[in-house]
Chains A and B, each alone.
Chain A
């Protein structure tokens, strides 16, 4: 029978194979934690109960799935007239919508074209040199007019005081 301390010596001296053999010998004698007397009976009962419960649940799920399929097909059969009506109305609404969209787009394009033409005409007129000079002269005259009017009003108010 080997001395148990040989394991520790072998381990500390890095004799791996010997250490493992000695350790296996020692570890085999570590006491075992025993289950309680009724452990096996309880465990088997729990496992059986769990399986029975699972079987019931599985059957219920299958029945529910079957009922769902039947109800779905039944509904489709019963509501087939309404479904056809719904499809036709949808197709009509979609086609009308498309016509309205195309018309609106055309009108929008027309308005945009008109606005563009007006804008170009105005900008051309403003950017022409004689027109620009005339506008500048009018602006200067107008500014003088405003200044003169402002001075007259001020003088008038001072005389009243």
Chain B
């Protein structure tokens, strides 16, 4: 049975000139990187460019990677800097409440219609949360994604975002409160009455 090499081993091999090792490393973290960047800039093509730049920078600085640290934590620090540089040069991307309420998530709605009521409601809530995530401050969004999607510890998030641990905890708390508040204004705290309402992503 083949043994999966660790990130540190792949880094060593890449430093020795193994393109295949770096290919494996990139393929391991391509999805989290593009997902995070896409959530930050709200544009998949741009997110791929930013993730690519982050991987290129990581490759240039591969010799400085501390083997005691998780590669993903170190890499997300680089991706954070690349993304923040971009957002500083350009206006932060947020989605207006009107557009969220008007459009919802058509792809999700089509799926939801085929599900039983309980599952449909849960899927609709996830969809609404997905859309609401685009409306909160970028730094809150990043903290939420790193904590709950990429499963980084608060300490690792603090290192990746160059922030004190206390600030990260505050960001996570405020992000949850803001998301709850957005969903509450869309009627998600009241009892849903029908599948048609859930498929639109909100209740009246």
Residues of chain A at the chain B interface (Cβ within 8 Å)? 4-5, 7-9, 11-12, 16, 19-20, 23-24, 26-36, 39-44, 46-48, 50-51, 54
Nearest A residue to B45, CB-CB: A36
Secondary structure at chain A's binding surface: helix, strand, loop or mixed?
helix
Q: Is the CB of B188 within 8 A of A30?
A: no
B side interface size, CB within 8 A? 43
Choose one: B31, B122, B189; the contact of A12 (CB below 8 Å).
B189
Main secondary structure of the interface of B (DSSP, over half): helix
Residues of B bordering A, CB below 8 Å: 19, 22-23, 26-27, 30-31, 33-35, 38-39, 44, 47-48, 51-52, 55-56, 59-60, 108, 121-122, 125-126, 129-130, 133, 144, 147-149, 172-173, 176-177, 179-180, 183-184, 188-189
Does A43 contact B30, Cβ atoms closer than 8 Å? yes
Taking a contact as CB atoms closer than 8 A, the residue among B30, B56, B176 that contacts A20 in the complex is B176
> Would you call A40 and B27 a contact (CB within 8 A)?
yes
- Which residue of A4, A30, A50 contacts B149 across the interface (Cβ within 8 Å)? A30
Q: When the two chains form their complex, are residues A5 and B148 in contact, meaning their CB atoms are under 8 A apart? A: no
Q: What are 16 A-B pairs at a CB distance below 8 A?
A: A5-B125, A8-B180, A11-B177, A27-B149, A31-B126, A33-B38, A33-B47, A34-B34, A35-B30, A35-B34, A39-B52, A43-B56, A46-B56, A47-B56, A50-B56, A54-B60
Given known A-B contacts A5-B189, A7-B180, A11-B176, A43 and B55 have beta carbons under 8 A apart: yes
A23 to B108, CA, bound (A): 20
Residues of A within 8 A of B177 (CB): 11
User: Looking across the interface, which residue of chain B has its beta carbon closest to that of A23?
Assistant: B176
Q: How far is the CA of A39 from the CA of B174 in the complex (A)?
A: 34
Which residues does chain B contribute within 8 Å of A26, judged by CB atoms?
A: 125-126, 129
Give the residue name and chain of the B residue nearest to A38 (CB): B48
Which A residues are CB-close (under 8 A) to B60?
47, 50-51, 54
Decide: A9 near B189, CB < 8 A? Known: A46-B52, A48-B19, A50-B60: yes
By beta carbon, the residue of chain B nearest A10 is B180
Given A29-B122, A32-B31, A50-B60; 15 other pairs, CB 8 A cutoff? A4-B125, A16-B173, A23-B176, A26-B125, A27-B129, A27-B144, A29-B126, A32-B35, A33-B35, A33-B39, A35-B30, A43-B51, A43-B55, A48-B19, A50-B56
**Interfacial chain B residues near A4, Cβ < 8 Å:** 121-122, 125-126
In the assembled complex, how far is the CB of residue A27 from the closest CB belonging to chain B, in whole angstroms?
Answer: 4
Contact B48 A35 (CB under 8 A): yes
Q: How far is the CA of A35 from the CA of B47 in the complex (A)?
A: 9
Residues of B within 8 A of A5 (CB): 125, 188-189
Q: Which residues of A contact B59 (CB under 8 A)?
A: 47, 50-51
Report which residue of A32, A35, A41 has the largest number of chain B beta carbons within 10 angstroms of its beta carbon. A35
